Amino acid sequence: MSQFFDVCKVAEIPMGEARMFEVNKVMIGVFHQAGEFFAMDNACPHAGASLSHGIIEGEVVRCRIHHWSFCIRNGTYLDEEKPKFNVKTYQVRVLDERIQIEMEDDR
């Protein structure tokens, strides 16, 4: 069963930036772009580098090590059409100025 987990306050992630959080034992990158928030697995599928510490250009994040590109909106790997490299994304909502991410509750 899935549920929304509280992550942080909206003000903690400036526009155009990202932060990494552990949510229900999973490392998640949360991105703030044009007033919207997006969440995806934080590890690049290539070598495991932190995507939230990557290079953010609009709705694209590039891994800081090998520069693989991903859409922050849907996790699509953008360099080639290889869906096996897509990054898992998560539903995000803002409730009372708090960012929440929907995930499976493994309890």
Task: Encode pLDDT of 39-63 as tens digits.
Answer: 999 999 999 999 999 999 999 999 9
| CATH class of the domain whose range is 2-104 | mainly beta
Dist CA 82 CA 107 (whole Å): 33
HSE-CB for 38 with a 13 A CA cutoff:
27
Tokens of 59: 């709705």
Ordered by start, the domain boundaries in the chain are: 2-104
Single pTM value for the model: 0.94
